[in-house]
Amino acid sequence: MPTARETLVQALAAYDVRGATLADVPAATAVICAAEEAIWGEAEMVPDDVAEAWARPSIDLADDVVLVVDDGRVVAIAEVYRGRGEGYVHPSHRGRGIGTALVEWWTARAGEHGYQTAGQTVCDDDTTAVALLRGLGCSEGHTSWILDYPLTGARPEPARAPLGIDLRRLQPGEERALFHLIDEAFSHWEDREPGIYEDWAATTVDAPSWEPWRGVVAVEGSDLVGAALLRRYPGEGWVDQIAVAEAYRGRGIGRALLEHAFATFWGEEPRVALSTDSRTGALDLYLHVGMRVRRTYRRLRRPTGIAG
């Protein structure tokens, strides 16, 4: 039986198909940005995001990432990470069967990793991708949103944590405790696997872009009970991850972390944004503090053919 890569090479015989190296980050980013511009009129992907994703130790760039090359130019890219597929085709090469071949590839590759289902999260605005995935038999999973908070008016008062809770920066040596706090906060999600510390660290505390201000934690004594990881993109601040330990929810800690994020970027960026999905139950909190939905995404998934 041919491998996922062999099948892809056969399907795209008119192109060169190969794995990736870190030297391919700029070319991959350019394809993603071109796809974003075609949908929204602007690009949001930055090279650091691609480089950090590819730095995760559990990704094999030779086999879990594929580049489609036409006359020496990368025109499409796809990757698989723990059953999650992602693919982009440059607008100049759409309508040639590349997208279909990439979906079949990440489905089969996820199966080779032992996953019974694989899926991709796509924006409702990308009607072509939504139609493609549904036409290939994908069913809908959870819903995701990107929300904005405009940073206008007078600078707000410093965030006030609930009584007995302090907000401070993450301290050296607390990285694994932070990871476990975040991972356990989301452990009840349907079909969610436990995280891998080394993969998480590659995109956060061990990333070249990491700076101390990016990690803020809520503590009770010496115990970490909440956290928000921040970063900055061109034109906006971003709440990368936010979590509160289950036993401490409903006390205003999440709101205090959000207010800290707003204050951090006030006067420096025009807005703060974050992503959440229907599994968290946090959408109402974000709307209540004045955030607004920028985009809606759907998780579309399909069986890999691997028996349970």
Q: DSSP of 171-236, one letter per residue?
A: PTT-HHHHHHHHHHHTTTSTTPPPP-HHHHHHHTTTSTT--GGGEEEEEETTEEEEEEEEEEETTE
Question: Using one digit for the tens of pLDDT, what is the confidence trace for 262-279?
Answer: 999 999 999 999 999 998
Same domain, 134 and 156: no
d(CA 308, CA 298): 25
In this prediction, residue 110 has a pLDDT band, given cuts at 50, 70 and 90, of very high
Same domain, 138 and 53: yes
| Domain with 174 in it | 152-269
Q: Is the pLDDT of residue 306 over 80?
A: no
Query: Degrees (nearest 5) of the Cα angle 139, 187, 233?
Result: 80
d(CA 161, CA 163): 7
Same domain, 131 and 224: no
Please state the domain count of the chain. 2
Same domain, 138 and 182: no
Task: Give a yes or no: residue 106 inside a domain.
Answer: yes
Q: CA of 245: how far to CAs of 159, 181, 186, in Å?
A: 19, 6, 9
* Cβ atoms of residues 66 and 17 within 8 Å: yes
| pLDDT of 155 | 81
Indicate the pTM of the whole model: 0.94
Same domain, 100 and 36: yes
* Cβ atoms of residues 289 and 151 within 8 Å: no
What CATH number does residue 255 fall under? 3.40.630.30
Q: Is the pLDDT of residue 305 over 90?
A: no
| pLDDT of 160 | 84
Q: What does DSSP say about strands 215-220 and 223-233: parallel, antiparallel, or unpaired? A: antiparallel
